[in-house]
Structures are given as structure tokens and as C-alpha cells.
Amino acid sequence: MARRKKIYEGKAKTLFEGPEPGTIVQYFKDDATAFNAEKRDVIEGKGVLNNMLSEYFMTGLNNIGVPNHFIRRLNMREQLVRACEIIPLEVIVRNFAAGSLSKRLGIDEGTPLPRPIIEYCYKDDKLGDPLVAEEHIAAFGWASQQDMDDIVSLALRVNDFLSGVMYGVGIKLIDFKIEVGRVYDGDFQRLIVADEISPDSCRLWDIATGQKLDKDVFRRDLGSLTDAYSEVAKRLGVMPKGAVPMKPTLIN
């Protein structure tokens, strides 16, 4: 069998050329990293869970008309997505204070914010994805004003959708990060949600107990990451109760 062409290898995913032009195969690895990869581990089953959960969220977004890159899941670890030009920004939406916002501004984690706050980080691992202002984004041409309007609109729609879905299964959406990509349809270009939406890129707290069900479990050594992600998957009906995520499949 011909070997697939690897396009890019990130910390948690590998991208391969897709079967048709304009498509990409997104492979979810079991690797977990934090603090710009200073802390790393391999968590068996994480890639399978994130593949399934990202499929679930992206499909739901598609169903309510929020455009995103997801085409279909191919197997336990891979999904077919639409190729796009990634805007070099991490778009963070926060509903409650936590993480770097709590540190930066001295606000207790869990404090409700008066309104959702959107922040931007410049995607550059060498720099540690620094927080940037819209002024930097405009001045350095990372996105136009029209792009920024579209990004805010996408981010807030994702926030409403995800908050509601998670609330329905007893989980509070504290914050999350999305990435946005540009696609071309003939002469027109538009922005779509890309990358992944999973507990790697969200903060999810159980409403009843406050238990963390996201990557902070790994960042802060709070227990089993697969147990936390499996709990989210089970509640959403993405994984049947008691199902064990499959072992990694060999690629290449």
C-alpha cells in the first residue's frame, strides 16, 4: 500500500494528505503535553476519545449552521477534514475565571465573569503562544478587521452551543480554545472552525462536585485523564458506558 504523505505533526495530532484534493486526514495521538510541551506523557486512549468527542461537537455545530472543517470520522483515531489556512491565533473564550486569566488578574478560579471574555494568543510554540491584543493582530496582518468580526461571531456561537450541550449533562463550560481557518469557495473566502474541540482544549467542571473533567487533570496531576475524558464521553452518549478506548493503531 502506498505510504500517505505526512503534512504536519503537532503535539497531539498528525495531519496527512487526504484522499481528495482539499481534504486532510487528522490523526489523534495519545500524546499529552502541557506548559508548551515541558510536561509530556502518553495517555493510552486519549486520541480515540478526542477523535470521538471532536466529531460529536463539530457535527453538532454543523447541524446548527456553525461552519467547521469536519467532514466525517474515518476510524477510531482519524477523521477527514476540509483543508484550510489556519489563522495563527488561538481564540479563547472564558465564561468563568480559571487558568492563566486567574493568575494574571488575581481572580479566584470559578468566579463567574460578567460576560464572556475573548482572548487571543499568537500561535508560535517558540514564543509559548503569547497573549496578544487586537492591535497586534491588525498591525502584523494576522487577520483583517472583517476576519476578526467573523472570528468573534464564530467563537460566541461555539460558546453558546458548547455551554448548552455541557450544561445538559451536568458540566459547566469554564473556558475553551478554538482555531479558525480560511477556506475558498470560488472567488469567495470564509472562515470556519478548525483543529479540534475536545477536553484537551476546554475546561469542564462537574456542576455537582466541581470535579475537573479536562486536561487540567493532566496539567495539575489530579488523577486519570482517560477516566475524566471517558466520563464526558459517557455523559454525552459518545461512548457506551464501560467501553474501553482502543489501543493505538499503527500508522505508516
Please report how close the Cβ of residue 113 comes to ligand TMP at its closest, in angstroms. 12
User: Does position 175 bind ligand TMP by CB under 6 A?
Assistant: yes
Looking only at residues 211 through 240 of this chain, which bind ligand TMP when binding is defined by CB under 6 A? Answer: none
Residue from 12, 22, 27 nearest 181 by CA: 22
CB 217 within 8 A of CB 223: yes
Give the residue carrying C-alpha cell 471517558.
230
Sign of CA dihedral 161, 9, 70, 73: negative
Comparing CB distances to ligand TMP, the nearer of 18 and 53 is: 53
User: Does position 160 bind ligand TMP by CB under 6 A?
Assistant: no
Please report how close the Cβ of residue 223 comes to ligand TMP at its closest, in angstroms. 18
Query: Stretches 51-59, 92-100, 137-145, 220-228: which one binds ligand TMP (CB under 6 A)?
Result: 92-100
CB 77 within 8 A of CB 51: yes
Please report how close the Cβ of residue 201 comes to ligand TMP at its closest, in angstroms. 4
User: Does position 201 bind ligand TMP by CB under 6 A?
Assistant: yes
Half-sphere exposure (CA, 13 Å, Cβ side) for 44?
6
User: Does position 46 bind ligand TMP by CB under 6 A?
Assistant: no
**CA–CA separation, 174 and 178 (whole Å):** 14
Residues that bind ligand TMP (CB under 6 A): 92, 98-101, 129, 175-177, 201-203
